[in-house]
Chain A
Amino acid sequence: MSRTFVIKGARILGAQPADLLLRDGVIAEVGTGLDAAGAEVVDADGLVALPGLVDLHTHLREPGREDAETVETGTRAAARGGYTAVHAMANTHPVADTAGVVEQVWRLGREAGYCDVHPVGAVTQGIAGKQLAELGAMADSAARVRVFSDDGHCVSDAMIMRRALEYVKAFDGVIAQHAQEPRLTEGAQMNEGEVSARLGLPGWPAVAEEAIIARDCLLAAHVGSRLHVCHVSTAGSVEILRWAKSKGWRVTAEVTPHHLLLDDALVAGYDPVYKVNPPLRTAEDVAALREALADGTIDAVATDHAPHPAEAKETEWDCAAMGMIGLETALSVVQEAMVETGLLDWAGVADRMSFRPARIGRLTGQGRPLEAGSPANVVLYDPAPRTVVDPSQFASKSRNCPFAGLELPGRVVATFLRGRPTVLEGKLQ
């Protein structure tokens, strides 16, 4: 028998307090003074209610690197972060480039039950950039894949990229491009600029990202397909996206929480916890990304949650793995970078972290408005407390969190996945 909940006095998308009745997996009613026989009451005084968050970019590492994360630990971390759906990236071992692998990941997600897991299919076989993977088979599989990406590798061959964009039109798919011109970034270690010049680390020029985005926007326009740009990191990329959108082309983009808060000055101590792809950029880039997320040029916040075992980071900078975990801190970082600065209100946060990512991923049961009849995917978030980030408390298997030791606002109090609490009173259920 499924449980019924009455959420009392939550500020829906930050508006006036109201009650929500969650029953049989849906929001049965929204109003004031709600009550129902046998319902469990959740006191949401002072809490903001948001639609369950949707992540377009998560590395769950399973199959292959279960030492870093599994579908179960990764989705537990997602639930703690307020997520009810994540897109699991394809760069696993084996690569998610067949219907078999994507269905395996999808099933593992269902079994774990902490949030919906939507596998991302690889664009090319083995993410090697040479030959298209069986995109149609993945789309038709039980996992119903709509987002395809060689993330970690750029589909740099213009002809392959064109074909991929064209091909996925048949099932309304989208190519999520990791924009990185490979020749311009051979051996690259960090953003190319003042800091890299001083630290003697091979530079990763902004233009290596921007050139690919410009090319892909033109290709998407030419074949009339959907392009999604992963983890945009430079001010120049924002300019190109703004231009492409002004043309009415079907281009969307995401930004990570870390690119909204951190800049390349942090690399000065050579601590690889700050090593990530794309690299942390300058403070000017951070400002441009915030502005672009606020005005909608960038559609979504996506975590690029990239767990790594300790030994992959406790090394010299050059040998360290790239990536940061982010599921459990994303909402707090967005509050700090966007809400506290007045750039985005809670309705804006819901749009960039739930509505739009669900739409890009073509998810029907996620990213719905908090109104009667919607699936009961709800986050209750307390924006008031400020706490120091302590990764030892995380549900993720990995600890490579660049926000460790930072004081950030907010706390996820409860997450409901189709009416069932995955997190209640801040604790995993």
Chain B
Amino acid sequence: MNAAFRPAEPAAPRPAEGADGDAGHKAVLEAPDIRRALTRIAHEILERTKGAEDVVLLGIQTRGVTLARRLAARLEEVEGRPVPWGSLDVTMHRDDLRMRPARALGRTDLPAGGIDDRVVVLVDDVLFSGRTVRAALDALNDLGRPRAVQLAILVDRGHRELPIRADYVGKNLPTSKRETVRVLLAENDGRDAVLLGPAASPPPGPARRPAADRGAGR
């Protein structure tokens, strides 16, 4: 099948924003599971990077940023020094832009030291087709030249469409392609959970300003 004619759903794996768990959705991870998963990832990062000396955490908008912030706090607890973290919006680099109406952009904020010669750990909530991560790698390319790039993910649900794998995985979750996986985080959604749902949700409407994380007049 020609890539351009691939159905929109697998190419747009990011969970719908703001929706709470509805009927038919099964919680496969609850708050304590998520906490444990992040703690484990934090320790793995320390181990793999020998103390996270040069690590910069970059969360992919929107929930990846929340997870990066939490991971940074965990690392600081253990190491006793702050670990730089930031946010990355990959909208402009996505390969599925033309399949949906133009969207509002999220913030890209790099920590003061930048990313040159650092070990960048990209953080996201769900790894599915791999297209978001590919877009993130492209975006990084325009921002600087890290020494290495690693990937931390809360849920890996399989069905990769690109040769991409995660270095740190909170939970491997075997799914069918038609199922949906939604990550809820307290900062964004009021509670922590990972929901497995039966069918694809309808595509979101035209771009609107995400209500929570932007204020007029910065």
Q: Is there a contact between chains A and B in the complex with CB atoms less than 8 Å apart?
A: no
A residues lining the B interface (CB < 8 Å): none
